Structure 1
Amino acid sequence: MKTFIITLLLVSFTNATYSQDIMLTDFENRNPETEGLPGMVIKTNGKVSYVYLTDKHPDAAVRELQKKFVEYSIPKNNGENPIYRLNLENKKGTILAFYSEDQKLISVDEKYKNVKLPNIVMHSILKELPGWVVTEDTYFYSQKNGVVTKKQYKIKIEKENETRTIVVYADGQIKK
């Protein structure tokens, strides 16, 4: 009787553990919060158009600021400055954008501190640097004329009394 009860308990725990893994896998493959933000924004100002590629980032603060940037309406140039500078901020980051005289987007630089890291980045760190713990991170995202020029994380990691700073690209590759 004792063996039967122990076997029954082991089977029930195994089944519960297995179902949790399936739910986690389904959650990782789907990110419902990023579905509202378009992948590419094309704006037309008269005869000039420009492209802004949004980043489907898992952190809500990043998506919130990018949405604010996409919805921003550029005022008409009064002729005083050939370049229009736009600076947007929230609690975790900033977006700095430059527009030409004819309201064409020239470049966008984004910087965020201590954001939620994408699963691929965390997986890469855990795989390549086992035992290390992420203590700080800075996310850089830049584009020029509709082409992404930088998309990387500067991450501070610690293990026991040792501290290192690493750079991880958005695809999970760690810069050596």
Structure 2
Amino acid sequence: MKTIITFALCFCFFTASYSQDKKPETLKIEKLPEVVISPAKKDLSKYTPDNNPDAAVRNIQNEFLSYKVDDECKNFDEYLVTLENKKGSLVATYNEKGMLKFVSEKYVNVELPREIINSVYISYPEWKITKSKFEYSQQKGQILKKAYYLKLEKDNQIQNILITSIGEITKITKTLAMN
């Protein structure tokens, strides 16, 4: 009986010490691939979804990725697709051949990427982010605009800033439009 108890105690110590040697796994963030919207072989139009941490933004982008242009809509010079949810909208323009020309996305009060939050709190300690707006636009697969407009408050003071997707503050004003 003494041998069994000794063996059980040794086994408990071994498993407890072994479990603490493992390193915690980190969350990997992967960039989303470009997605070809039009099956035409001459002029491929691409939509590159943003790697935004907000689920509402990703949901509307995924819905757009699954969207197919109907053949009956190709009788027009341009074809406009608008997708909306509670946080914003995605507007896309197609040409008469069903090729994606332009995509514009605007969202309010989105969850901000870690780089943006870190940059703001380093540059503006003790300020609170009270409102955010995210704008993202592309033309033929080229990203034209990817920016965050933030409204900051501290002690009855208001500061509006424009910040790039990598956390670089580019414009500071008291009258930046936040509509």
TM-score (norm 2): 0.76
Partner of 2:82: 87
- Tell me, in whole angstroms, the C-alpha distance in 1 between the residues paired with 2:103 and 2:73: 22
| Counterpart contact for 1:45–1:103, Cα < 8 Å | no
Flag structure 2 segments of 5+ consecutive residues without an equivalent: 1-22, 172-179
Q: 1 or 2, which has the higher helix percentage?
A: 1
- Tell me, in whole angstroms, the C-alpha distance in 2 between the residues paired with 1:128 and 1:91: 30
Flag structure 1 segments of 5+ consecutive residues without an equivalent: 1-21
Partner of 2:39: 45
Partner of 1:65: 60
Greater shift, 38-47 or 145-154, is seen at 38-47
Counterparts of residues 117-128 of structure 1 (less than 5 Å): 117-128=112-123
What amino acid is aligned across from residue 37 of structure 2 in structure 1?
A: K
| Counterpart contact for 1:77–1:103, Cα < 8 Å | no
Partner of 2:99: 104
Cα shift at 1:159: 0.5
TM-score (norm 1): 0.78
- Tell me, in whole angstroms, the C-alpha distance in 2 between the residues paired with 1:79 and 1:67: 23
* Paired residue total: 149
* Percent identity (aligned): 35
TM-aligned CA distance change 1:78 to 1:72, over 3 Å: closer
What is the CA RMSD across the aligned residues, in angstroms?
2.2
Cα shift at 1:99: 0.2
| Counterpart contact for 1:156–1:164, Cα < 8 Å | yes
